[in-house]
Amino acid sequence: MTDLPFFSIARHMKPERSAPVKSSHRRHPILEAFGVALREPWTIACLAVLAAFVFIALFAGFFAGDPQAINPAQRLKPPSANAWWGTDHLGRDVFARAMYGTRMSLTIGLSVAVITVLPGVALGVIAGLTKFGGTVVMRIIDAMMAIPAVLLAIALAALLQPGMLTVIIAISIPEIPRMVRLVRSVVLSIREQPYMDAAISVGTRGLPLVFRHVLPNTVAPVIVQATYAAASAIIASAILSFLGVGTPPDVPSWGGMMADARKYFQFYPSLMAYPGLLLSLLVLVTNVLGDRLSDVLDPRKSTRRI
């Protein structure tokens, strides 16, 4: 058999079909974590309850009456068609005041979470990446955390003019140190990672290093801490209103409603039960969502991702 030239052999050979290459594109880990959390019934139930609170806060004016209307002739009346949850000692609609109190609680919780994140992350990154700046920042943070948060909030609320903005500022200041300590601990662990040394070795320093490698790795714990800050702010705002140093008495709030109901609790316990149950439910679902996010965003708890 004579040897055929190479091109003759190649002409009779059938080319092999290569297998299609699958895309290696993956979603961001945080988006994957949210997807895992949304598969659980408890998470879906908590999100549904939270969505109901948001709906109430946004549209309370459409289905609730006037929360400030006073009618002494209808004081301390049981539930009726005109007042679904009865009336208080001044004849005000308890249902309307509770619905409008939802708006104030959610506004304070969300505002405190946002205000806590911005300076907390900035100061935490400075404390974790710089030696001198970290020493100064952490000494100030330690001094602030030595003061009980509720007492500091009461003092600030008493010094400033009563109102929602005052309550937000008074609650945000004690919450910032917790965020700073959390972000600093995360940044200190990030500094020890090999990719940080590799980034520095190729000349990535300063703000590019922070925005490319440090901040993206602090997003997950910051989100979780923000949910806890929101829940803590909701409780603190109720405490301040209950003590009379938060919002003015004419502004509907759950804490103010419970403070007004103290004298009548023995004979009319529902006046305190309604706002108390709403407060407990909102804080519960916020904390449950924070715990679930902590589980799915922490790689060390991967055994719970089922």
Residue 32 is predicted with a pLDDT of 65
Is residue 245, in this structure, part of any structural domain at all?
Answer: yes
Given a cut of 60, whether residue 202 has pLDDT beyond it is yes
Q: Average of pLDDT values for 24-40?
A: 61
Residue 150 inside a domain? The answer is yes
Cβ–Cβ under 8 Å, residues 212 and 204: yes
Residue 115 clears pLDDT 90, i.e. is over it? yes
Nearest alpha carbon to residue 164 among 105, 98, 119? 105
**pLDDT per residue as tens digits for the range 157-171:** 778 777 888 889 889
Average pLDDT over residues 66-78: 88
Q: How many domains does the chain have?
A: 1
- pLDDT score for 228: 92
CATH of the domain at 241: 1.10.3720.10
pLDDT of 1 > 50? The answer is no
The pLDDT tens digits of the residues spanning 123-141 come to: 999 888 887 777 888 888 8
Range of the domain at 263: 102-283
pLDDT of residue 235: 93
**Domain presence at residue 63:** no
Domain assignment present for 96: no
How many other CB atoms sit within 10 Å of the CB of residue 302?
A: 10
pLDDT tens digits, 52-65: 999 999 998 888 88
- Reported as a single tens digit per residue, the pLDDT across 169-183 is 889 988 999 999 999
pLDDT computed for residue 218 by the predictor: 86
- Tell me if 218 is assigned to some domain: yes
Residue 220 has pLDDT above 90, yes or no: no
Average pLDDT of every residue of the chain: 81
pLDDT category at 29 given cuts 50, 70, 90 is low
Mean pLDDT of 40-59: 89
In a domain, 21, yes or no: no
Asked if the structure places residue 54 within a domain, the reply is: no
Alpha-carbon gap, residue 97 to 222, rounded angstroms: 33
Region 97-103 average pLDDT: 93
Residue 59 lies in a domain: no
Task: Map tokens 């509907």 to a residue.
Answer: 252
